[in-house]
Amino acid sequence: MKKPHVFLDSSALIAGVISETGAAHALLELAEEEYIDITISEFVVIESERSIAIKSPQNIPHLRSAIVQSLLNIIRDPSPKEIRDNLYLISDPNDVPILLSAIKAKVDFLATHNRKHFLDDPKVAENSGLQIGTPGDALAWVRDNLESK
């Protein structure tokens, strides 16, 4: 049986590290227990470290620990040419690497808190062929898929 496979962007990864009660944290725990697979990209790691260093530096060790303990797959970022060729996928060019990484990883679901560029624009899911939602949406989807197996 194929495990549910989720991609976390930096907003979802940071939420999972900082809040022990949220859906993003529950996803990390499910990955740690090997019920699901989670993939992130090199860009997500860098962006998460940079953001946490500014907002909550005491949580940098927790971020690094979560990446290891939750057995997160880290994939290479898309090339500049791949990014240029796929600018049509999403309105913000800065989010193209995230979307392409999720597509390349062949995930089932992309979890994000980015309303403006991902969640409130249905064209992004349509263009990418991905299910996109909040970590709470992803967690509900994972639970449905685990219960049906």
How many independent structural domains does the chain possess?
1
Residue 146's pLDDT is 86
pLDDT at 73 over 80: yes
By C-alpha distance, which of 145, 147, 149, 129 is closest to 137?
145
By C-alpha distance, which of 114, 8, 105 is closest to 17?
8
**pLDDT tens string 28-61:** 999 999 999 999 999 999 999 999 999 999 999 9
Residue 37 main-chain phi, psi, to 5 deg: -110, 140
Q: List the structure tokens of 35.
A: 């019920």
Q: How many residues does the structure list for the chain?
A: 149
Classify each residue of 110-134 as buried b or exposed e, where b means 16 or more C-beta atoms within 10 Å of its C-beta: bbbbbeebbbebeebbeebebebbb
Q: List the structure tokens of 53.
A: 């260093």
Containing structural domain, residue 118: 5-147
Higher-pLDDT residue of 149, 96: 96
Confidence label for 131 from pLDDT (cuts 50, 70 and 90): very high
Give the number of other CB atoms < 10 A from CB of residue 48.
26
**pLDDT tens string 88-123:** 999 999 999 999 999 999 999 999 999 999 989 999
Residue 70's pLDDT is 94
- Transcribe 72-94 into DSSP letters: -EEEPPPPHHHHHHTGGGSS-GG
Give the predicted TM-score (pTM) of the model: 0.95
Give the mean model confidence (pLDDT) for residues 131-140. Answer: 97
Give the mean model confidence (pLDDT) for residues 115-132. Answer: 92
pLDDT at 149 over 70: no
What CATH number does the domain containing 110 carry? 3.40.50.1010
pLDDT at 23 over 70: yes
Residue 147's pLDDT is 82
User: ∠ CA(51), CA(63), CA(59), 5° rounding?
Assistant: 70
